[in-house]
Amino acid sequence: MALQIYNTLTKKKEEFTTLTPGKVKMYACGVTVYDESHIGHASQAIIFDVIRNYLEYSGYEVTYVRNFTDIDDKIIKKANETGKDALEISSHFIKRSQEDMALLKIRPATHEPRVSNHIPDIISFIEGLISKGHAYQAGGDVLFDISTFKEYGKLSKRKIDELINEDTGAKKNPGDFALWKGVKPGEPSWDSPWGKGRPGWHIECSVMAKKYLGETLDIHGGGMDLVFPHHENEIAQSEALHDKPFSRFWIHNGLIMVNRQKMSKSLGNFYTITRAAEKAPTDVIRFMILSCHYGSNIDFMESNLTTASKRVHYFYRTLSKISQLCSSVKETDSEDLLKDLNTSMEKEFRAAMDDDFSTAKVIAFLSETFSQINEFLDDKSIKPGRKIHSLNNFKTGLLKVTSVLNILNDEPEAFLKSFRTLYLKNNGIDEKEITDLINKRSDARKAKDFTLSDKIRDELADKNILVQDTPSGTEWDILFK
RNA sequence: GGCGCCGUACCCAAGUGGUAAGGGAGAGGUCUGCAAAACCUUUAUGCAUCGGUUCGAAUCCGUUCGGCGCCUCCA
């Protein structure tokens, strides 16, 4: 079964095809850089990162563009408040955003263009719209005339005459929007045929998409909240100018919620990526986001984060057991005892991902797979040496899956150790006090003083530290609650 | 007010016509000094509500109730 994608434009799952065989042109709206990026931006970036990875895995050559809006009202506002230059502020937050993305194992896009570097392209695009009668000058502004584009509203399923906008001003239709904004005092500006000014918000994406990808894209995406007006307006601009479809597939991701409310900068209820990363490792954040379908909203609750932590911890513990066995025992047998599992893994993975990038299904089957692996590891009827070949095959197959999702591909021991370190830091615990208590408990156990040893164990549990007695000694780990 | 999405077990959540994935929590078991980890078993005749279409519906249509998003900057 070929890849099926839910297309916002048609409201249906459709078989994915590309304009040029073997090549995908994908554009996703990035961030407006006037502040630190939050976990909502992260979720969008992670989702499109995985989509891109999977398309590449499926054999496509993907050109992925993710823009930075570095000129906008809020950036200008911040510049005026801080006395800094607007572009200086946006440059700073672009750098911060790129660092955040790297921290979350998100690959940079093929192109990450900025609006301020594309003013001439924007001006000529607008000139084209004016000369075709789709835009008009109103004072120092240039507005798009939505009545000239018959299909206006086709993405968000709105009708032109239902659009309400109190600020009608010089607009011919209430829904007309700015392509170019005449300069106001205290604003950065560029020369244009219509006087000094700056681009409106929507035009940048139409222009930069065209420049880096051409007049028709295969995939255009972004957060659900961009469907109207942003993406609707992009369609209007691009299709009015080129008389051809702007994007063949529209993909919209769900939003991060906090207590059932959308997380957004304007509501002030957001977690920055930095803050989220202080609470949980990268893989936990990615896992949480990829645990549900990309189109649904996710509540960024403590309990969801804890659940994701437990799961990721479980997966890495299993991987750690595998690598410990593989590094300590010699392979004695070349029979694949996990043949069914190993051969079905890639098939299951593709089937799930081909169904509208169902990462939730992938994670569900990974859960089942890991249970079987643990069972296999624990199976005393099979000599350890006979397991190695099978486990190596498993690791090879798993790597294909995890390299697309970009989770569970760290070195297991290193991951677990850094997770513990993060946990201790967040709880203000010194590792030495734990090891001291554990040593004390081990002495008590040797002396068969189980009352004391159990008391120490309870004491550690109060600190959310879990004690585990294994054949090779006592270990400690995070006690998730 | 308009447009759109959603409502699945105690909780999170997949599932878009063929008889309810997965996870968390709970219960029982194997293991253990006891635990933990891991594994096994178990937890919705039921998918907000009422009605309809169908041989068959969580899935399609309509009603009611509830939640959310967009309509102004938003990933």
Structure tokens of A150? 């018959």
Q: Give residue A165's pLDDT.
A: 57
Question: Which 277-296 positions of A have CB less than 7 A from strand B?
Answer: 291-293, 296
Q: Does the C-beta of A99 come within 7 A of strand B? A: no
Q: Give residue A164's pLDDT.
A: 62
Token pair 């490792």 in the structure block, residue: A281
Q: Does the C-beta of A40 come within 7 A of strand B? A: yes
Q: Any idea what the Cα angle at residue A34 is, between residues A30 and A40, rounded to 5°? A: 45
Q: Does the C-beta of A125 come within 7 A of strand B? A: no
Single-letter amino acid, residue A287: F
Q: How many whole angstroms separate alpha carbon A232 and alpha carbon A234?
A: 5
DSSP state of A162: G
> Which bases of strand B have any atom within 7 Å of the beta carbon of a protein residue?
1-5, 11-16, 21-25, 32-40, 67-75
Protein residue nearest nucleotide B6, by CA to C1': A296
* Cβ A252 vs Cβ A232: under 8 Å: no
Q: Which nucleotide is nearest to A466 (CA to C1')?
A: B36
CA A127 to chain CA mean position, Å: 36
Question: Mean pLDDT in runs of 10 for chain A (481 residues)?
Answer: 89 93 97 95 96 98 97 93 94 97 97 97 97 94 94 88 64 92 93 96 97 97 94 97 96 92 86 94 97 94 93 98 95 94 94 96 97 96 96 97 97 97 92 95 95 95 93 91 83
* Cβ A362 vs Cβ A405: under 8 Å: yes
Token pair 């095809």 in the structure block, residue: A17
Q: What SS3 state is found at A198? A: strand
Give per-residue pLDDT as tens, A406-448. Answer: 999 999 999 999 999 999 998 889 999 999 999 999 999 999 9
Can you give the distance from the CA of residue A309 to the C1' of nucleotide B68 in angstroms?
27
Q: How many whole angstroms separate alpha carbon A342 and alpha carbon A361?
A: 17
Q: Give residue A466's pLDDT.
A: 95
At A61, phi and psi to the nearest 5? -95, 120
Protein residue nearest nucleotide B33, by CA to C1': A450
Q: How many whole angstroms separate alpha carbon A98 and alpha carbon A70?
A: 14
Can you give the distance from the CA of residue A466 to the C1' of nucleotide B39 in angstroms?
20
Q: Does the C-beta of A227 come within 7 A of strand B? A: yes
Structure tokens of A311? 């799961």
- H helices of A230-301, where? 232-242, 273-279, 282-290
Can you give the distance from the CA of residue A469 to the C1' of nucleotide B31 in angstroms?
12
Structure tokens of A222? 């972004």
Can you give the distance from the CA of residue A132 to the C1' of nucleotide B58 in angstroms?
50
Can you give the distance from the CA of residue A10 to the C1' of nucleotide B71 in angstroms?
20
Question: Which 421-450 positions of A have CB less than 7 A from strand B?
Answer: 445, 450
CA A368 to chain CA mean position, Å: 25
Residues 6+ apart with CB under 8 A from A26: A48, A51, A52, A55, A62, A63, A64, A65, A213, A217, A218, A219, A220, A221
Q: Give residue A472's pLDDT.
A: 84
Please, what sign has the CA dihedral across residues A391, A393, A399, A404?
Answer: negative
Q: Give residue A82's pLDDT.
A: 92
Which DSSP string corresponds to A401-430?
Answer: HHHHHT-S-S-HHHHHHHHHHHHHHHTT--
* Cβ A197 vs Cβ A182: under 8 Å: yes
* Cβ A213 vs Cβ A187: under 8 Å: no
Structure tokens of A375? 């069972």
Q: Does the C-beta of A454 come within 7 A of strand B? A: yes
Cβ burial of A451 (10 Å; 0-12, 13-18, 19+) is exposed
Q: Does the C-beta of A229 come within 7 A of strand B? A: yes
Separation of first and last alpha carbons in chain A: 41
Structure tokens of A358? 């169902």
At A164, phi and psi to the nearest 5? -115, 135
* E strand intervals along A318-425: none
Backbone conformation region of residue A372, classed left if phi is above 0, alpha if psi is from -120 to 50, else beta: alpha
* E strand intervals along A130-204: 135-138, 141-144, 177-182, 197-199
ipTM: 0.95
Can you give the distance from the CA of residue A12 to the C1' of nucleotide B60 in angstroms?
15
Q: How many whole angstroms separate alpha carbon A22 and alpha carbon A25?
A: 10
Q: How many whole angstroms separate alpha carbon A272 and alpha carbon A35?
A: 10
Can you give the distance from the CA of residue A260 to the C1' of nucleotide B67 in angstroms?
8
Q: How many whole angstroms separate alpha carbon A463 and alpha carbon A301?
A: 22
Q: Does the C-beta of A66 come within 7 A of strand B? A: no
Q: Give residue A170's pLDDT.
A: 77
Q: What number of other Cβ atoms are within 10 A of residue A263's Cβ? A: 23
Q: Does the C-beta of A158 come within 7 A of strand B? A: yes
Q: Does the C-beta of A303 come within 7 A of strand B? A: yes
Q: Give residue A295's pLDDT.
A: 94
Q: Give residue A1's pLDDT.
A: 63
Q: Does the C-beta of A372 come within 7 A of strand B? A: yes
* Cβ A217 vs Cβ A63: under 8 Å: no
Structure tokens of A481? 């609650």
Q: What SS3 state is found at A258? A: strand
* Cβ A350 vs Cβ A55: under 8 Å: no
Backbone conformation region of residue A406, classed left if phi is above 0, alpha if psi is from -120 to 50, else beta: left
